Amino acid sequence: MSDARPAFRFAPSPNGLLHLGHARSALLNDAMARATGGRLLLRIEDIDVTRCRPEFEAAIHEDLAWLGLDWERPVRRQSEHMDSYRAALARLDALGLVYPSFESRAEIRRAVEARPGWPVDPDGAPLFLFPRDAMSDAERTRRMAAGEPYALRLDMARAADRAGPLDWQEVSEAGDSVTHAADPRAWGDVVIARKEVPTSYHLAVVVDDARQGITHVVRGADLQAATSVHRLLQRLLDLPAPLYTHHTLLLDEEGRKLSKSIGSQSLRDLRAKGVTPDEVRQLAGVPSAAHDG
Ligand code: GLU
DSSP 228-255: HHHHHHHHHTT-PPPEEEEEPPPB-TTS
Beginning with the edge strand found earlier in the chain, give each strand of the sheet holding 7-10 in spatial order: 76-77, 39-44, 7-10, 216-220, 243-247, 167-171, 177-181
Atom index in ligand 1 nearest the CA of residue 220 equals 8
User: Start-end ranges of CATH 3.90.800.10 in the chain?
Assistant: 82-168+184-207
Residue 96 — φ and ψ, nearest 5°? 75, 25
| Sign of the C-alpha dihedral computed for residues 292, 269, 245 and 200 taken in this order | negative
Residue 216 near ligand 1, beta carbon < 6 Å: no
Q: What is the bridge-based pairing of β-strands 7-10 and 39-44?
A: parallel
pLDDT in tens, 250-266: 988 888 888 877 777 89
Q: Is 178 helix (H, G, I), strand (E, B) or coil?
A: strand
CATH superfamily, region 1-80+267-293: HUPs (3.40.50.620)
Residue 205 near ligand 1, beta carbon < 6 Å: yes
What does pLDDT average to over the chain?
94
Residue 29 near ligand 1, beta carbon < 6 Å: no
> What's the pLDDT band for 284 if we cut at 50, 70, 90?
very high
Element (H, E) at 33: helix 20-35
CB atoms under 10 Å from CB of 287, counted, come to 13
Mean pLDDT of 235-262: 90
CATH superfamily, region 82-168+184-207: Glutamyl-tRNA Synthetase; Domain 3 (3.90.800.10)
ω into 74 cis (within 30 of 0): yes
pTM of this structure? 0.94
